[in-house]
Structure 1
Amino acid sequence: MARALILIGGTVMGSGLLYVQAAQRLALQPITLSADPTRYDHFTAKGAETIRVDTDDLDALIRECSRLRATYDIAGITSAADSFYATASKLCRHFNLPGPNPEAIEQCLDKYTQRQLLAASGVPVPAYRLAANAADVADSAAEIGLPVIVKPAVGSGSVGVRLCSTADEVVEHTNHLLGGQHIWRSAPRMLIEEFAQGPLYVAEIMGKEVIGISTLDFGPPPNFVYHENTFPALLTDEEHGRISDVSLSCLRALGLGWGPTNIELRWTKRGPVVIEVNPRLSGSPGPQLVKLASGIDLVAEHIKLASGGDVDLRRRHSHIAAAQFLVPDRDGTLDWIDGDSQAAAISGVAEVKLYIKSQTPIVRKGDYRDCIGHVIATSPSLEQSKAILRRAVDLIPWSITPLMTDSRK
């Protein structure tokens, strides 16, 4: 009987395909259960099996997994997306398979609950308030002091997250969130936070071990759209130690410590401040950067852990891997995008991936969905990796026809 890995739901910035490919390398049959298989690129991977099922219905998922057990030896159940990770952990508990604590995952996914637990344990976090309506948001922003971050209490990928520098911007973004344009996973609740200023770092953790720390750069405010990602970050021993200590204290505060976690922190005037704890791996290309820089395949190690295997987190080498996202500067229609094959041919370029094709409409959202591709480079030094990256990105031009306006009227 073939051994299978069940993947629940979708993906985080293309990481689902990484799970499918890693499962196949580990001689596991990847089977994805999804409410809408057409949304995700990894469902078209060669040899992957896809089944349509309501991923919000735990009983339906249990029935489907039970049915699959007649054909497969289910080695493990997991997910690449935080919105489905709690569900996957409940399935693991039901079928007596390795997995994280479902209650710990669920309370971590609620950013307000997460903030409360971290603050109660003495973990440094920004000042924050919870609001359910426009008046509460305005009052909270005034109490904390502008500028503030206004975002949904539940969500990922910077969807619905905005830096508001004036009271009018607070009102405008609140109206956007509550006006029907934002899709809420649960009852509308907003988190208003102090804008913690300083370099952004991400601690990549497996179990209770900090694998390494990356640095991330966003595009211009008020949105938070990824532009660059580098692993590992160039830190002093003291800085690395302080970030690692704070990150491990997050695991204790939240009851985490099984499987992958990524923790976003800002290095502020008072040192590392925790922005967000995500009980999953970073989205693509984060895992690729870790693998290229250290030789540690976090996706494969997560699958090994989920399927009861032995995990190997030994570093094989020490390089610097850097990624740059391709981000359009306007809305419109992508006429063409080219040069990816020439960029991929440059020595030191590890990956060039385009997320969309020509003639695709572009409507920027101000979050991860604005990215239309990425390029990854690796070398023994940061300076060399960044130079390779710049050269490769310069070889990928594109043309966008702007949307028609009402100026003709």
Structure 2
Amino acid sequence: MKTLVFIGSYKFGTSREALTVAKEMGYAVILFTDKQSHLEFAEVDQVILIDDLLNEQRIIDKIVLLQKTGKQICACVSFIDPYVAYAGRLSEQLELTVVSLQPLSVMENKITLREALKHLPISPAYWIIPTEDSLQKIKYTSHLPLVIKAPVSNGSKDVFMVKTPNELTKAGRYLRDKYPHTSLLIEEFLEGSQYLVELLMQNDELKFMAVMEQDIIYNGKFIVGAYKYPAILGETLHKSLITHISDIIKELDFSNGSCHIELKLVQDQWKLIEINPRMSGGIMNRIIEEGTGINLLKEILNMYVGKEPTFFQTRSMFVNAKYLTLQSRGKLLRVKGQELALTHSGVKYVYVKPVSGAVLKKPSSMGDRYACVIAASETEAQAEEIARAAAQEIKFYIEPF
């Protein structure tokens, strides 16, 4: 039977949805995971537990055994870091359709990416603190505020905005303790509206591109509080965005694969925040589908198995996805209002993540967004108002501690 092999997954979001989409496409779904809890995934035909997902030979050996049992492996895929390029490399070893491995590997490391694109005008100022350098050598206080991050972080987990020398030193020490063998990256803080671009490349051709604006919650971290699709850009800005993206693709020699790019618009000039070698997490596929009718995950999987992705747009709607976070810590007792939120005209999706008994807290990463409402309408303002009103119906009751 035609089979897709997935390396790693989260319980929620794009990586989990990809399993369901693959199943709906008629593939048998095999998941390699190091999480015992993933054994309960109903959409997976076989879960293979392995303590080290980066043990390449061990996974290859298990895939070969699957082939001997009659499984026709069509692709190895991952939608989570740090397994994207790795899954592509497994496909290469199995002589399957191969994505652009080197560009994807570059994207997985923020320092490597900065160095690869440093001469492009879209790149901001940045500095690297090598592993062997003492944190006392952090002498960029004249450039504050700054952003300091680990090169392999994701979901805003190890990314800090610092405004004072003390905050810079504190964040640097935290990252050095957590990543003792890794250089650290410092970047200028960019003031401006933030945007996200989803794109898919196949055979050197840009097949799909979706641009949306992000609302950012600044609390020392960078948490996306809302997505607005499509982003409203003037013709000049849109053309310059296309030019910059084309330059990035050419510089990285990115010919096959999908990624998402985050940028800021600083005084009408585009500046690159980062590139990730996969589709965005969370409810990104749902946002694009509500706005266009296109199931981007399905087309990405088609690209991975060597098929021609098709992007036939069946609708054109404005979509607003609003996330809910908390400003206190405690144990969740119950959540109310999901059903009421769904009664609002234009609401397409309501999602609440935590279950009773979970410990909730102020957001320090994207994983600390506890609910989401997606609304669609014929205008941007209407979609935003619908999402806002519906989100207000959802109430978290917690026992503080």
TM-score range, shorter chain: over 0.9
The answer as to whether partners of 2:19 and 2:43 remain within 8 angstroms in 1 is no
Q: Deviations over 1:71-108 (max 9, x none)?
A: 31112211111311011011110011113132222122
CA contact (8 A) 2:31 2:44 kept: no
Question: 2:244 pairs with 243, 246, 269, which one?
Answer: 246
SS at match of 1:82: coil
SS at match of 1:240: helix
Cα deviation digits, residues 243-276 of structure 1 (max 9, x gap): 2221222122222231211110000026000110
Q: CA deviation at 1:47?
A: 4.8
Aligned in 2, Cα 1:115/1:79: closer, same or farther, shift over 3 Å? same
Offset of residue 229 of structure 1: 0.8
**Quick one: distance in 2 between partners of 1:379 and 1:287?**
17
**What letter is aligned with 2:288?**
V
Mapped contact 1:346–1:392 kept (Cα < 8 A): yes
Instruction: Please state how far the C-alpha of 1:236 moved relative to its aligned partner.
Output: 1.1
CA RMSD of aligned residues (A): 2.0
Report 1:174-213 matches (<5 A): 174-179=172-177, 182=178, 184=179, 187-207=181-201, 208-213=206-211
Is 1:9 aligned with 2:8? yes
Matched residue SS, 1:225: strand
Which residue number corresponds to residue 406 of structure 1?
none
Residue aligning to 2:340: 342
Q: What does the per-residue CA deviation read over 1:28-83, in whole Å, with 9 as the maximum and x for residues that have no partner? A: 11111112242x5x962345421112311000111111111123111221111131
Alpha-carbon distance in structure 2 between the residues aligned to 1:343 and 1:270: 37
Q: 2:85: which partner in 1?
A: 86
Look up the match of 1:66: 64
Give the letter aligned to residue 320 of structure 1. Answer: F
Which residue pairs with 1:384 in the alignment? 382
2:74 — aligned with what? 75
Q: Which one is further off, 137-146 or 363-372?
A: 137-146
The answer to whether the 8 Å contact 2:91/2:98 transfers is yes
Q: TM-score, normalised by structure 2?
A: 0.93
Amino acid at match of 1:203: V
Q: Return the alpha-carbon distance in structure 2 between the equivalents of residues 134 and 372 of structure 1.
A: 39
Match of 1:27 in 2: 26
Match of 2:111 in 1: 112
The alpha-carbon deviation at position 22 of structure 1 amounts to: 1.0
Asked if structure 2 preserves the Cα contact closer than 8 Å seen for 1:261 and 1:280, the reply is yes
Partner of 2:354: 356
User: What does 1:157-172 correspond to in 2, within 5 Å?
Assistant: 157-172=155-170
Q: Displacement, 1:400?
A: 2.2
- 1:279-318 aligned at under 5 Å gives the runs 279-318=277-316
Q: Pairwise mapping of residues 229-240 of structure 1 onto structure 2 (< 5 A)?
A: 229-240=227-238
8 Å CA contact 1:43, 1:49 repeated in 2 = no
Question: Which one is further off, 239-248 or 109-118?
Answer: 239-248
In the superposition, the TM-score normalised over structure 1's length comes to 0.91
How far apart, CA to CA, are the structure 2 residues paired with 1:195 and 1:141?
A: 16
CA distance in 1, matches of 2:232, 2:200: 21
Unaligned residue ranges in structure 2 (runs of 5+): none
Alignment match, 2:46: 49
CA distance in structure 1 between the aligned counterparts of 2:184 and 2:9, rounded to whole angstroms: 24
Q: Distance in 2 between matches of 1:224 and 1:366?
A: 8
- Quote how far apart the aligned CAs of 1:200 are: 0.5
- Whole-Å Cα distance in 2 between the matches of residues 117 and 248 of structure 1? 15
Q: What secondary structure sits across from 1:292 in the alignment?
A: helix
Q: Is the 8 A contact 1:335 1:400 kept in 2?
A: yes
Alpha carbons of structure 1 residues 225 and 134: separation in structure 2 relative to 1, 3 Å: farther
**Which letter maps to 2:274?**
E
Which stretches in structure 1 are left out of the alignment for 5+ residues? 404-409
Q: Which deviations, in whole Å up to 9, do the C-alpha atoms of 1:195-215 show, x marking residues without a partner?
A: 011100111111124522011
Q: Percent same amino acid among aligned pairs?
A: 23
In structure 2, the CA distance between the partners of 1:378 and 1:275, relative to structure 1 (3 Å rule), is same
**SS at 1:260's partner residue?**
strand
Contact 1:262–1:278 (8 Å) recurs in 2: yes
Using the TM superposition, give the Cα deviation of residue 365 of structure 1 relative to its aligned residue in structure 2, in angstroms.
Answer: 5.6
The 8 Å contact of residues 250 and 277 in structure 1, kept in 2 or not, is answered as: no
C-alpha contact 1:148 1:193 (8 A) present in aligned 2: yes
User: Quick check: 1:150–1:163 contact (8 Å CA) kept in 2?
Assistant: yes
Distance in 1, matches of 2:151 and 2:55, equals 22
Q: Which amino acid aligns with 2:114?
A: R
- Equivalent residue of 1:353, what SS? strand
Alpha-carbon distance, 1:342 to partner: 2.0
